Amino acid sequence: MTKKILINKDTLEFHLTNGKISYLFRVMEKSNQLEHLYFGKKINHRDNFQYLLEREVRPSNNLFEGDHTSSFEHIKQEYPAFGTTDFRYPAHQIRYPQGDRISDFQYDHFKVFKGKPLLEGLPATYVEDPDEAETLEIVLKDSYSEMALHLFYTIFAEYDAIARSAKFINHGKEDYYLKSVMSANIDFPDKNFEFIHLNGAWARENQLERKPVITGVQSIGSTRGASSHAHNPFFALVRPDTTEHQGEVYGFSLIYSGNFLAQVEVDTYQVTRAMIGVNPFDFSWQLKPNEEFQTPEAMIVYSDSGLNGMSQTFHELYRTRLARGQWRDRERPILINNWEATYFDFNEEKILNIAKNAADLGIELFVLDDGWFGERHDDTSSLGDWFVNKDKLPEGINGLSKKIHELGLKFGLWFEPEMICKDTKLYKEHPDWIIHVPGKRFSHGRNQFVLDFSRNEVVEYIFKLMDDILVDSEIDYIKWDMNRYISEAFSNDLLPEQQGEIYHRYILGVYRLYEKLIEKYPHILFESCAGGGGRLDPGMLYYAPQAWASDDTDAVERLKIQYGSSMVYPLSSIGSHVSAIPNHQVGRVTSLEMRTNVAYFGTFGYELDLSVLSNEEKEQIKQDIEFYKMHRKLFQQGTFIRISSPFTNNETAWMVVSKDQSEAIIGHYEVLAKPNRPYERLRLKGLADDKLYQINDTDIARYGDDLMQIGLIFGENFIGKANEYWAKEKVKDYNSKLFYLKEIKC
Ligand code: DGJ
């Protein structure tokens, strides 16, 4: 095993390396604070890294009298503070009892241990064997108070990633207020970067954007109480020549589902400061004596093989060492969800009819969506009344779940646990349980209000309501939805000086409820959802290994949404369904083939009324399902590679390759058809040079090097058959092709 944490004890230099990447920092002599030295591709260890120090004499504020090179503004730092010679945005800021915000965390000692600690109450990556990772804990003490700061760095043996987090502990006798507590910061020595991130809105999540960094501050984030549709808690800094397949990438991802900030600040000396963590805006945390505050975990990935290299690290790490539980490694069931088939308008007969059709076609899980409880006939009522509506389902969830199981299907149920409508028993009993400011107007979103999950009693109460249904019925899957953001953030349970804590406490409450349910019902497969992809974030993956990626089920729109989501999230976590045409979100009509070929690249399912389909369509779906089942492991656990981007091209292409490179599936999609077609080839990736691959059960076989260098050839050979060319049916808009490659053992 490669030694992972190397320490030059005389010079207090710390070198984290797994033989592929290096992360380097040191303790500065005079100030005793931490200086960042390097992060990137592995470099050889040296007994002394002092030659890396740069100290220019510049007009600035200096820390030590007579020393003109002691300005923090000109030193690349690990976890910077503001207000004492550094004028850039800090990684942390604390308000002291007298009102000032100046801290001085000095190095005290370090610890190195095998493996990786869990973060109490927060999602985080983990190891199954202590040899998988090594953790360095740096303990710093504030010279102005009795506060301690613990910085955690984990390096993984198999993944080119560093996990970072920070913990503040109040060992003193007074209260301190944390105003900013980022999870990680890196000061890069140059600004030769482009900034990549995922933005969006409801129904068009995770759109990829790439722009050169500018001098000054650029940031993305959330102030909505959820990671949100608007921005994903991820960004990457890439070199201008970096592509999907080559070049340097530094990927930052936050394992958190609440308000976040991801910020890049380029200063006038071309240093690029990158940080990610809980959004300091509207945040403050009262840290009482003997209390501690643990930040969420940030994952920083380095790749010198382009964006695909970064994504593959995230995929493997998040699929196998962030997702947990019985469903982590299991092939996920093909599901049918009744939402787009019925919306709120269903009864047991309709549901059983859809389920029966689904079972006949080979579908494995039926999911009953919104509308089964209280008087929920539209989106104006009943959230919080988690009691079955007997007019719709006379035999209750219990009876229905049994009948669905008798059809040979698993049964899943929709909940929106964090929300409440005003017409409910719960609201009448506990009006103070919703997030609002007493005496001030409060707003609704989709006619609903947010329960104050920062209060433990609320979490316990909702657990009890859900538990009553779960104990009583045969439930294999839960779709956990969340359909509005938090506004008028205030908790009746917190003191005025603690109101800045509500967003973070809220999300801790959400995690607590998940944890309780998982503990009691470990067999249940959770799928997270927030009006589609509003909470498709790494934090959720710790509890729910799959997420409904978007309410937009149109195949063309999904190309972008799934391509963008795959920057960070493995296919096993991206819920993707075949839905009806004309599509309910954009009205577009695409072929069943196109819809299926797009939905295959995710956790596959259907979201339409199967009973109205023609026999021909049903027969096709039966075959499509058989195909997915045959290759499900490859789709869900293979190595995913993006080839052609829908954000810049009419053609999208991606592929998935098995770990042993013996098989692969390629998806190729063309949005608009072209006349008089030019020559087209698709160069594949990730195959083995010397393996011979049979293509699509035909007698055509080609070597891996040939498929990667020359590519799949889309043009046909019409020598002597010109008439056939003119008689050929025209390729229409929204067309797709799927190629299955299988190694032929000679
Ligand atoms: C939003 C979800 O994304 C949909 O799939 C569906 O569950 C509705 N909510 C139900 O209200």
Mean pLDDT, rounded, for 187-203? 98
Determine which one of 481, 537, 552, 554 is catalytic: 481
Query: With a 6 A CB cut-off, is 415 part of the ligand 1 pocket?
Result: no
Instruction: Give the predicted TM-score (pTM) of the model.
Output: 0.98
Query: Best mutation site among 379, 414, 529, 579 for ligand 1, i.e. most ligand atoms within 8 A of its Cβ?
Result: 529
Q: Rounded to whole angstroms, how far apart are CA atoms 332 and 628?
A: 11
Asked about 481 being catalytic, the answer comes back as: yes
Token reading at 78: 């690990």
pLDDT digits (tens, 9 = 90+) for 667-725: 999 999 999 889 999 999 999 999 999 999 899 999 999 999 999 999 889 999 999 98
Among residues 86, 385, 537, 551, the one annotated as catalytic is 551
pLDDT of residue 567: 98
End-to-end distance of the chain based on CA atoms, in angstroms?
36
What is the mean pLDDT of the segment spanning 17-29?
A: 98
Query: Ligand 1, atom 2: nearest CA belongs to which residue?
Result: 531
Q: Which of these, 595, 512, 528, 588, lies nearest to 558 by C-alpha position? A: 595
Judge residue 29's burial from the number of C-beta atoms within 10 Å of its C-beta, 0-12 exposed, 13-18 middle, 19 or more buried.
exposed
Q: How far is the CA of 379 from the centre of ligand 1 (A)?
A: 10
548 lines ligand 1 (CB under 6 A): yes
| Substitution site in 229, 344, 369, 447 for ligand 1 pocket (most atoms within 8 Å of beta carbon) | 369
pLDDT at 584 over 50: yes
Nearest to 525 by CA among 541, 505, 513: 541
Q: What is each CA distance from 388 to 91, 391, 415, 477, in whole angstroms?
A: 48, 9, 12, 17
DSSP collapsed to 3 states, 514-535: HHHHHHHCCCCEEEECECCECC
How many CB atoms within 10 Å of residue 331?
16
205 lines ligand 1 (CB under 6 A): no
Alpha carbon distances (Å) from 62 to 57, 59, 67, 188, 633: 10, 9, 7, 21, 59
Question: How remote is the CA of residue 307 from the centroid of ligand 1, in Å?
Answer: 31
Average pLDDT for residues 104-125, to the nearest whole number? 97
For 318-350, the pLDDT digits (tens) are 999 999 999 999 999 999 999 999 999 999 999
Which residue in the block uniquely carries the two structure tokens 């995929």? 315
> Would you place residue 1 in the very low, low, confident or very high pLDDT band (cuts 50, 70, 90)?
very low
Could you give the 3-state DSSP secondary structure of residue 480?
strand
The span from the CA of 567 to the CA of 238, in Å, is: 13
How much distance in Å is there from the Cα of 77 to the middle of ligand 1? Answer: 44
User: Which three-class secondary structure state does DSSP give residue 696?
Assistant: coil
How much is the pLDDT for 333?
A: 98
Segment holding 202, helix H or strand E: none
Assess whether pLDDT exceeds 50 at residue 447: yes
Spatial neighbors of 126 by CB under 8 A, at least 6 apart, are: 116, 118, 321, 322, 324
381 Cα–ligand 1 center, Å: 15
Distance of CA 524 to the CA centre of its chain: 21
| pLDDT attached to residue 274 | 98
551 an active-site residue? yes
746 — pLDDT class (breaks 50, 70, 90): confident
And the tokens for 446?
């989709």
147-166 pLDDT, tens digit per residue, is 999 999 999 999 999 999 99
Contact 158, 167 (CB under 8 A): no
Check if 607 has its Cβ closer than 6 Å to any atom of ligand 1. Answer: no
Does residue 483 have its Cβ closer than 6 Å to ligand 1? yes
> d(Cα 502, Cα 284) in Å, to the nearest integer?
9
